[in-house]
């Protein structure tokens, strides 16, 4: 269903059962796949792909030029997966050449009103970004992470899987998987234990949570050097989730919130 007030570029490739509502603008070689609905007043630009069964609310802007002073009009893209809900006034910018050229959003994500996903960011699956949450360029957000209202994530930071970032928090460093990070206005983000409620809701067993608690205490509550803590954890606590945590800590380039 294409509303008669919608403006659609001849380059666009739109599946037959896509619903494009009043006053939407499709500008450029946009691809929109079956079951997706643009409610009204949505702008989609450039080489943007929106997957199946997504819903995009009024005044969202997807695929606009990156807010990067080095961007010179190169051909870059946004790739959005399936079953995503993108609410009012969300902005998702396309990538830059020096950042890989692609801004990616996975599947089953909820992006609430006024959230911003900058150039070259990569979201996994089942991510929640609450109202006004902002990602600087090149940010990576892993599966099942939650970024609460009015958070600001610094460029090049990573948010680990199942992590929970509390509202009004500025994140200057990586947030490890499975934890809660929080910090009020003007305060540096700190860790406040495991995201136990979130882990339980996602079916983590008591033994798995207990293992993660032990690892958390060694990493963030002991006086041991980080290298020593990691060695003890690797030798004494064996599980898939522990390996994820260890790998995240070892591969951090910006440092980790402590």
Please give the Cα distance from 76 to 151 (Å, whole number): 27
Of 46, 122, 112, 119, the residue nearest 85 (C-alpha): 112
**Over the Cα atoms of the chain, what is R_g?**
20
DSSP state of 34: T
**Could you tell me the CA-to-CA distances from 1 to 7, 25, 29, 35, 49 in Å, in that order?**
13, 14, 19, 11, 19
Give one DSSP letter per residue of 31-92, joined into a string: EE-TT-EE-SS-EEESEEEE-TT-EE-TT-EEEEPPS-TT--S---EEEE-SS-EE-TT-EE
User: Quick one: tokens of 40?
Assistant: 């009204």
Please give the Cα distance from 166 to 233 (Å, whole number): 27
DSSP state of 146: E
Residue with tokens 């983000």: 189
DSSP state of 174: B
Task: Tell me the catalytic residues.
Answer: 119-120, 137
Residue with tokens 């009043």: 22
CA angle (225 as vertex; 222, 229 as ends), nearest 5: 65
Beta-strand relationship, 179-182 and 190-194: antiparallel
3 state DSSP class of 52: coil
């Amino acid at each position: 269903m294409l509303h008669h007030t919608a403006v659609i570029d001849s380059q666009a490739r739109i599946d037959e059962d896509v619903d494009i509502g009043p006053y939407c603008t499709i500008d450029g070689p946009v691809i929109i796949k079956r079951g997706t609905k643009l409610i009204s007043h949505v702008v989609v630009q450039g080489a943007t792909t929106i997957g199946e069964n997504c819903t995009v609310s009024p005044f969202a802007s997807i695929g606009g030029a990156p807010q990067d002073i080095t961007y010179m009009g190169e051909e870059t893209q946004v790739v959005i997966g399936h079953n995503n809900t993108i609410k009012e006034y969300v902005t998702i910018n396309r990538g830059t050449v020096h950042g890989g050229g692609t801004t990616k959003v996975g599947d089953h994500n909820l992006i609430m009103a006024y959230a911003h996903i900058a150039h070259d960011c990569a979201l996994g699956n089942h991510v929640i970004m609450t109202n006004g949450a902002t990602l600087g360029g090149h940010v990576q957000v892993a599966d099942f992470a939650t970024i609460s209202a009015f958070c600001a994530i610094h460029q090049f930071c990573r948010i680990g899987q199942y992590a929970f970032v509390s509202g009004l928090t500025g994140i200057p460093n990586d947030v490890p998987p499975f934890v809660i990070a929080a910090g009020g206005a003007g305060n540096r983000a700190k860790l406040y234990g495991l995201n136990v409620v979130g882990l339980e809701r996602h079916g983590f067993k008591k033994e798995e949570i207990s293992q993660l608690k032990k690892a958390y205490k060694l990493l963030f509550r002991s006086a041991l050097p980080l290298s020593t803590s990691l060695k003890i954890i690797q030798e004494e606590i064996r599980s898939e989730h522990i390996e994820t945590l260890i790998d995240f800590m070892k591969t951090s380039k910006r440092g980790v919130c402590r």
